[in-house]
Structure 1
Amino acid sequence: MHEKRNPCPLVDSHVHLDDEAFANDQEAVVERARRSGVTTLVVPAVDAPSWPRIRQLCARHPGAYPAYGLHPLFLTAHAPKQVDALAAWLNENHPVAVGEIGLDFHLDTPDHELQRRYFSRQLQLAREHDLPVIVHARGALEEVTLTLRRSGNRRGVVHSFSGSEQQARQLWELGFHLGIGGPVTYERAQRLRRIVAGMPIEHLLLESDAPDQPGAAHRGERNEPAHVAEVLHCVAMLRGETEADVAAATSANARRLFGLG
């Protein structure tokens, strides 16, 4: 595929660049992203062992920024003391967000009550450190939204948004962003496409969620941050706007939310 640099540098607001899927070619992945115009990467953690790995990764790659948290799908690997460790880690390091945190009630996911406790405590840490949150909400969007409303957290993104138009509106009325990635490029994703076409652009972020959730052009393949350029193309088409305008708006949204230079 011919690579085309976008007129405005893009932000991948959610990429697991530390994943083992990138262990053998991480440098090449970052270079391909840059050639596609994706110059800024937000790298969220999933568990405590990933924190130092992400810190080192972001130190090596200019334009990569860390977020630290405990992901609900890795619940069995977490320990209560790690929440206290996260508080200390946030004090000693300088992340752009607390994440990836949230709830996952999809199929046979672990102890929902324990997920709730980890989520609430990490939301509290985000407030204490004046940081936005990167939220996972698979099969639990209603409860996540209610928890955010009650918690007082008003800065963040619900990544890989897949809810209804009403749920989307509830989130952006709270001040939250919606993270949109590869799924929007599938023609069958009609509800998501309608939401993206009509939503206020100031609440829209582009993401890859790489190595997961590849777009329609890469079905069955490993996803990469370079593919955010294809998400941009799809979003601009759906909204009837230029890629340059959508790139400028979504990149500005990410920089404002995460406090990026």
Structure 2
Amino acid sequence: MIVDSHAHVFKEYYTESEIEEILEQKSLIVNVVGYDLSSSIESLELASRYINIFSTCGIHPYDINKLNNETLDKLKKLLGNKKTVAVGEIGLDYFRDLTKKDDQLKGFRKQIKLAKETDLPIVIHSRDAFFDTISILLDEGYFKGVFHSFDYGVEEVKKVLDMGFYVSFSGILTFSKREDLREALRIVPLDRLLLETDSPYLTPVPLRGKKNKPQNVEIIYDFVANLKGVEKDVLHKTVCNNFFDIFDKANLTMGKEVACLKS
């Protein structure tokens, strides 16, 4: 099976028929990632209906003002479900001034602590905030997780790998001006690599301008296989195994021995 490690398959972005089309792709494993409490609930509802869909629950830095003690308690309950495999997406984003940096920093720490309590990996969103992201992770001492839609360069990816994280790349890799990101990909070992669409965003070339969907992850696999000089079947199986290794709770409902043999 082919893995899209990060997508937002929600009614906010897709029609009901589009969602059904996505979810019924039996050869595709999708990690549906929440950005606030309501989308986290929606992701778990989808995951509960389909064996090949998994849920990640958390509060995005741009929605961090929605995080309070009641929300944390509700998130913790969602994280206890067998189909919820990670806390996320959480982190820091200084690209737009939509929420206060101090609120983002506090919210990131609170959700890392939640991951520690539930022994789940974290799905990290970090944009224009690398130093602060790393500083908090080092201070909290939690290195179980994934840097999603990695958007930094070679030196940054070396640091992330040294800390023990997996690295996930999106369709940004295919953008003509992002040779820096392609250089970062080249040094990521296959056994620490994940691939994603971040649907409905970041549609890969040659589909730029259209709404992204998890099925388009195949374009990213083709691109990465060519860039790293590996057979596509090998890449499918390796990324699939990586997914079940870092999101190990997924093995409770779909063992990687079965899922990754079908890649």
TM-score between the two structures when normalised by the length of structure 1: 0.90
Runs of 5+ unmatched residues, structure 2? 256-263
Aligned to 1:30: 23
Q: Is the 8 A contact 1:210 1:225 kept in 2?
A: yes
Q: Is the 8 A contact 1:83 1:118 kept in 2?
A: no
**TM-superposition CA deviations, 1:219-252 (whole Å, max 9, x none):** 1110011111110000011111111111111111
Bigger shift: 206-215 or 22-31? Answer: 22-31
Give the one of 183, 193, 214 matched to 1:204: 193
1:87, distance to aligned residue in structure 2 (A): 2.6
Count of residue pairs brought into register by the alignment = 249
Runs of 5+ unmatched residues, structure 1? 1-8
Q: How does 1:211-226 map to 2 (within 5 A)?
A: 211-226=200-215
Q: Which letter maps to 2:130? A: L
1:187, distance to aligned residue in structure 2 (A): 2.8
Aligned to 1:53: 42
In 1, the alpha carbon distance for the partners of 2:134 and 2:238 equals 24
Q: Is the 8 A contact 1:142 1:167 kept in 2?
A: no
Q: Is the 8 A contact 1:14 1:207 kept in 2?
A: yes
1:89, distance to aligned residue in structure 2 (A): 3.3
Q: Label 1:198 to 1:90 Cα distance change in 2 as closer, same or farther (>3 A).
A: closer
Percent of aligned pairs with the same amino acid: 29
Q: Is the 8 A contact 2:197 2:213 kept in 1?
A: yes
Aligned to 2:259: none
Give the one of 28, 31, 52 matched to 1:63: 52
In 2, the alpha carbon distance for the partners of 1:236 and 1:89 equals 35
1:93, distance to aligned residue in structure 2 (A): 5.9
SS at match of 2:211: coil
Give the one of 94, 97, 109 matched to 1:105: 94
1:94, distance to aligned residue in structure 2 (A): 4.8
Q: How does 1:162-181 map to 2 (within 5 A)?
A: 162-181=151-170
Q: Which letter maps to 1:249? A: T
Runs ≥4 residues deviating over 3 A = 76-80, 91-94
Q: Is the 8 A contact 2:8 2:198 kept in 1?
A: yes
1:92, distance to aligned residue in structure 2 (A): 5.5
Q: Does 1:20 align with 2:12?
A: yes
In 1, the alpha carbon distance for the partners of 2:206 and 2:49 equals 30
In 1, the alpha carbon distance for the partners of 2:153 and 2:19 equals 35
1:205, distance to aligned residue in structure 2 (A): 0.3
Q: How does 1:87-126 map to 2 (within 5 A)?
A: 87-91=76-80, 94-126=83-115
